[in-house]
Every structure is written in C-alpha cells, then in structure tokens.
Structure 1
Amino acid sequence: MKKLSILLLVLLLTSCSNQEIVDEIQIVNSFGYDYEDGRIKGTILYPLFKYGSTEEPSLISAKAETTFDVPAKLDNKSPLPIADGQLRSLLLGEPFAKRGLQNMISTVSRNPNLGRTMQVAISKGSAHEMLSSVTKKKMSDTQYINKLIEQNIKMESFPRTNFQIFLFNFFAEDRDAFLPYLKSEKNAIKLAGIALFRKYQFVDVLSMKHAFIFKLLDNGSKNGRYMISIKKDQHKGQIALQNLYTKNKYYLKGTKESPEIQIVLKIDGKLQEYPFWINVNDPSNVELISKQLKASIEKESKDVLDHIQKLDVDPLGLKDFIRSRTRHYDHQRIRAIYKDIPVSVRADVTLVQTGINE
C-alpha cells in the first residue's frame, strides 16, 4: 500500500510539469536589440538542425513600437514557438544603448526563463549585423558571442561580468554598470573594450589596453598577462608579466566632508618574457623591473580612474564604498563631489619567479 501511494504521488507530480519537445520549439541562443527607423528591432539567432547533428545558425528579425511587443512580432515570423530558456547572450546595438536601457532591462529582467549567467554586451553599430556575421561559415556557432566573452573572463583579460552582475550595478543607487564592447572585424568578432554606463545610458568605451587594469581595480585577478616597455642604459625592450595573484584593498581616508580613497594592489607575478640583455639572476635587475612595473601599473590605474571620474561614471562603486564606511551618508553631496574625490593607487609588486633558471 505504501509503495502504491508513492507511485501515485510521483505520477501526480510529473503530470503537473510543463513539457517542451525540442523538435517543436525554436531554441534561441542569442537575442539582439536595435533602434531603427524610430522603432525597436529584435533579432534572434537560433540553431537550425538539418542532417543529424549538423547545425546551421539562422536569423529572424522583427520591428515593434516597444520592447515588450518585440517577442510577439518575432513569434509571428517563426514556424515554431520561440523558447528563450537557453538564451546565452543578449546583444545591444550601440545606437539603441545610447538611448537608455531602463525600459528594456525592466522588461527583460522580469523574464523568469532567463539565466542570470547569460552574457550581455554592446555591439559597435548594429546588433543585427553582428548576429548576421555569426552565421558566416568561419563563425558558424550560435553560442559564439557568449563563448568569446567567457573565455576572455576565464583567461583573466576581462573583468567578471554576466546578467546578474550587470543588473546589480544597473539598479544600484551608488554604482554604474559596465558591459563587454564588441566590434566586427571582417568575418570575425572581437572584444574591443568595456562599455561604460551613466545610470541607464551607455556613454563611452574603455579600451582593451586598460581592461586588465580595470579588472585589477574591480575584483583582482588570479592570472593574466601584462606587458610593459622597459629601458636600462641604452637598451629598450618589452617585458611580459604573468600575473599569478592580485588582491586589491580599498581604504577610506580624509574626512567626512572631504573623503579620499586609496587603493592598494598586491601583485605576485613572474616574468614570462624579457629581453636577452636583462640578467634576471642579478637582484638589482629584478628590483629595476619591479620598480618599472610598479610605476607602469600605478600610472595606468590612475589613467583609468581619471577617465571614469571625468565622465562622472562609477563602474568600480567608489561612491558605494564611501557609503559603506560613512555614518549618515549623504547621497546627493557625494554625487556632487564624485568627480573631484582624490583616488590614489599603490601597487606592491613581488616577482615570485623569473623562470626555470632561477
């Protein structure tokens, strides 16, 4: 009797679930938004299975007056119901993002089917055109965009980001959001920088040259590659630092009326490549390299901070850090003085290895 009761319970539970048969739905991997001719254009990228496991990326696009109406317009053009539960990337055209994303993000964030690890990115130009380029034979992969972003995050050349992180920064009172910025290049797509937001609007791009430094300031790093120019006497060359571990620490200084922030970067790394005329077994040369690395990282860090403060954007959450350390925090006053808050960076560089010969 007990076994029969358990069996009936299992049957009742399974009968309540909504089932979707793969062959009867249109599985979408990427979604794009553009602003075109005064209307919102939506584009979906989905796999079209032809022979066995053979997959061919295909597109459907449609225009509507609002973000909310776009999915319905796309459904009208699709032979199968559109299923967005496997959505891996959301691509936003630059002109669309510059108009502000509040309405679109408010709509999309309420969709319970979307995974919070989905990647969101800004495309230079049209999102539709960039998704169209994915259908080319050289990039014939409906998950090309999210794989591109995630492998750069994994290789530590880009700050950690996904839909959940973006939403947290986007709606935070004392932070601004940032996203990957993608650019088409012939038949390829490349990661070209960090898209910066001022509240709900895309305003500027931080180049890939500074993306690694931004990552160190944002959430540190466990690995990554950093190159600098070095000179000694009449010699000049390039040195590659393989970053093994970086930890950042923020300190609030000054007064409540005139706050100051100091960021300390503790970097343990090794010299991956260096000119033949540098003898790394000589402690004085290692010290010289450490000093020049320190100077370079501090200068580039200050360049990044000056740039974002001049734009009046706060992707690092500097205002939020001040708030967390200040009693009776005054949002309006800190916002008013944000661009002029002194922020200094100190890099403590330790070369823990210099190669197999050491």
Structure 2
Amino acid sequence: MNNYLETGIAIALIFFVFSTVAYIFQELIAINLQLRGKLLKKSIQQLIEAKGGLTAFTTSLLSHPQIETLNKTTKSLTSYIPAANFSMAIIDLVCKQAGINTGPTFAGFQAGLQNLKTTNPNLETILSSIYANSNNIQTLQLEIEKWFNEYMERVSGWYKNNNTWITRLIAIGVALVFNLNMIAITQEIFTNSALRISLNEIAERKVTSAGTTATLYNTNYVSDTTALNKKYADKLADSTTSPTIKETLKKEKEAEQLKLAIAYEDKLNSIKKEYLEEIRSKDLPFNWECQPFKKIDPVTGKTVNKTPVDFLLMITGLLIGAAGISMGAPFWFDLMSKLVNVRRAGQKPK
C-alpha cells in the first residue's frame, strides 16, 4: 500500500512541476502580447458603450490623465486601473459635458448627465442611478468605485475563460516537448523504488517550503506594477505639473517598468530552470530518446519500430500528461500536500 501512496505523491509532484512550467510560459505570453491590457480596454468599452463602437466619451476616458498615466508606454494600456483613478476620470469627464472645467462638483456632475443622454444613454442611465444614491462628491466617487470593482471581478472571470484555450495549447506543448508520457513514467516510478523515494523526498521539501512555492502565484506582474503606477499617477495627473517635468517622469516610469518586466521574467525563468533540473536529474523517461515512432529495445538496446499498441499507449500517456498539466499547479500542490501528510502519519516512529 505504501508503494501506491509513494507513487501517487511522485506523480502529483511531476504534474505540479510541469503545471508550474506551463503557468510560467502562459505568464510570459500574457506579458509580451499584452493580453490583460487588451482585455481591459475592451471591457471598459463594453462598460461604457451599450452596443459597441468607440464613442468620443470612451476615447476621452482612455486618454484621461488619471488613466493614461498608468500606461507602460504610449502604445499600450495598463493591465490594471485602480478604482479611484477610474472614478475621478469619470466624474471629471461628466462635469466637462456641462462645460465645467474648473474642477468636479456634485452639481456639475448632475448637469453633465443631462448632456450625456444624447451621446451615451446607456452610461447616463447607470450614472444617474449611482448619482441618486449619493449625497455629495465624496460618496459619488465611492459609489462609482464600487460599481467599477464589481465589474472588474467579472472581467477577471472573462480573462480566465478567454485564455482557457491558451492554457490547453501550452499544456499540450509542454507534454510533447518533454515527452510527458504518464503511462511510461508511472510504470518507471512504481517499479523503481530508489527513484520513487527520491521523488518523495523532493515532494516533502516542496510541501515544507510551501511559502516559497506560493510566492510565484501571490506575486504576479499585475500586482507588482500597481505600486509603480501609484507612485507616478498623482504627479502625472496633477495639472500644476509642468509638461517638461511630466515628460521626465514618464521616461523614468518607463525605465522602471522595463526593469520590473525584466526582473519578473528572470524570476519566472529561474523558477522554471530550478524545478526542471531538480526532477530531470532523476532517472525519469523525460525527453525523446529517439523518434516518436521508434523505441529502444530493453533486451538488445537497439532502436526498433514501435508497435501499434506502443504507439497507442504513447498517445494516451501524452494526453493524460497534457490533461493533468491543464488542471493547474495549485490543484496538484494541494493534492501532493495531502498525500505527503498521509504518508507522514503512516510512518513508524524510530
């Protein structure tokens, strides 16, 4: 029974490692293709406009100093907009609809809503209901922030759903590149006691250092850039700041943003390398020893053609590997932790 438990722990470890590798690839793709920023821009358009089509109000919102200063460069949109920035930008633009450029006021917001009826009736209806539940400019700002935060929670769900196909493609790619044939790997682990014990020791270390493992998921590129955005947002949005100083601040921010991106990518690559090297040093059948249609005969040591059964088992094993990777590292880490705790409880005291 202990052999089955140790095999289960080893398999959970392998899935955890390669799920982490897949997650790292997905993060790198999301950063370089600006997937979060593109979805955020599309979501804001959908929030402001009832039937699509970029309106003048949405264009003004995206180029407003409270939001534009969050962008990494002039050609990209930030991956995260604080609710306070969004709220202040909305209030300022609605007040300007009434021709008020001296600063946002509660009465000016009401006057701006009247002019918004013709240009953007969908937004006017929503903001009018928010205005009706507010007593002053401060409560109005808080109500708009609440509306925006609730919407962003749904956007987070859309991001995960929209990128499900990316996750699956990456899982298939990782399984193929590393020859993650889980049928062959499971057989090797179960019959090789030294390998099984070695993998269980690695799993024990991973579970013991759970805090280090969680850092990868608790600290991501979006949260890291939030502090940087806040650092520059007020100064860049301040109308009293001279254009020359603003230009200098923008260059400083872009330089820091670049350093942050490089540091984050280096961190992801170092974790990927560390995890892979730790288990690839074992006698596991990773990588392709020969062509997919060939195999090494265990008796003669020569390369021979695979039989149809061998080929079917390989495809099945790779599909199992890809399916397991797509379930995500947090799932496998949780399962691995539970199995390790069961193994610890079953060990006899010395």
- Tell me the TM-score range normalised by the shorter chain: under 0.3
Structure with the bigger percentage of helix? 2
In our comparison, the structure showing a higher alpha carbon Rg is 2
Considering Cα pairs closer than 8 Å and 6+ residues apart, tell me whether 1 or 2 has the greater RCO.
Answer: 2
Structure with the bigger percentage of strand? 1
TM-score by length of 1: 0.22
TM-score by length of 2: 0.23
